């Protein structure tokens, strides 16, 4: 497999100022993510995972350092270009789904895709996530796991370069969490989509091609799984 770099993070630091107090959320993070890779970024709460994901996704900016996607420096984009980057190239999956409660499953997906340049067929994606027969249901009529499937369908249907998932199983019970990880794994394989999952749950690292370990704002270790574990076979 020829490894083509999709994202290159170069010496990123992020400092938040809260009045007199400075918080160093990221310290000199440097790493690459390859096209089609399934990556888990693992670290305890407060280690800087969400900050890092938000910077990669163009939702936050670093204090120092650069981020490249396909050799384009997103940290140099002006606002308009950054908006298009977020809209067309990034699919985001959140811990608490972030669905519009007044829209049905299919309408939530349509809302996200109608402004994208290159979206996929929504009905096919709904079938992929196993919710075709629930497409007319509102979030309140679905379980947490089903809502997360809608959120994943919404992110994938945009046909982004990159799927960024912030604690996607954090609000789910074990079995539902495993099924969501299986779905993300299947989407990575079926669509050859690059997937980055951040989590504090070390068991989830076993399903990744590569695990980046974070502590106190630093990438302290990189681990390659030659044989990633099937999500159905991990336990926590």
Helices within 90-202 (DSSP H only): 105-113, 122-128, 144-157, 174-190
* Binder of residue 147, out of Mg ion, ligand ADP, none (CB less than 5 to 8 A by kind): none
Strands across the sheet with 218-224, in order? 90-93, 162-166, 194-199, 38-42, 210-215, 218-224
Q: Which of 6, 42, 50, 188 binds Mg ion (CB under 5 A)?
A: 50
CB of 171 to Mg ion, least distance (A): 13
Residue 31 or 138 having the CB closest to ligand ADP: 31
Cα-based torsion angle of the residue sequence 162, 223, 228, 88 in order, rounded to the nearest 10 degrees: 0
Binding site for ligand ADP (CB under 6 A): 16, 18, 23, 25, 43, 45-51
Q: What is the DSSP letter of 90?
A: E
Q: What are phi and psi of 186, to 5 degrees?
A: -65, -40
Q: Considering the complex, state which of residue 48 and residue 145 has its C-beta at the smaller distance from ligand ADP.
A: 48
Of 12 and 129, which has the nearer Cβ to ligand ADP? 12
Binding mask 59-88 for Mg ion (x = CB under 5 A): ------------------------------
Q: Among Mg ion, ligand ADP, none, what binds residue 46 when CB lies within 5 to 8 Å by partner kind?
A: ligand ADP
Rounded (10°) CA dihedral 146, 94, 173, 127: 30
**23 vs 115 by CB, closer to ligand ADP:** 23
190's tokens: 């079926």
Binding site for Mg ion (CB under 5 A): 50
């Amino acid at each position: 497999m020829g490894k083509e770099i999709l994202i290159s993070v170069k010496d990123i630091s992020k400092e938040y100022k809260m009045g007199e107090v400075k918080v160093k959320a990221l310290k000199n993070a440097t790493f690459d993510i390859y096209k089609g890779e399934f990556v888990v970024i693992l670290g305890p709460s407060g280690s800087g995972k969400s900050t890092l994901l938000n910077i990669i996704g163009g939702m936050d900016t670093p204090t120092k350092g650069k981020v490249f996607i396909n050799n384009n420096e997103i940290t140099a984009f002006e606002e308009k270009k950054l908006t298009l980057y977020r809209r067309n190239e990034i699919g985001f999956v959140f811990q608490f789904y972030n669905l519009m409660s007044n829209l049905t499953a299919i309408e939530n997906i349509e809302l996200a895709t109608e402004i994208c340049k290159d979206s996929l067929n929504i009905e096919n994606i709904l079938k992929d996530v196993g919710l075709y027969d629930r497409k007319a249901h509102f979030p309140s009529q679905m379980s947490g796991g089903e809502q997360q499937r809608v959120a994943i369908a919404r992110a994938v249907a945009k046909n982004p370069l990159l799927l960024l998932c912030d604690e996607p199983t954090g609000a789910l019970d074990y079995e539902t969490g495993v099924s969501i990880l299986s779905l993300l794994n299947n989407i990575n394989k079926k669509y050859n989509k690059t997937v980055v999952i951040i989590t504090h749950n070390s068991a989830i690292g076993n399903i990744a091609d590569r695990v980046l370990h974070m502590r106190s704002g630093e990438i302290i270790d990189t681990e390659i799984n030659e044989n990633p574990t099937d999500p159905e076979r991990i336990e926590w």
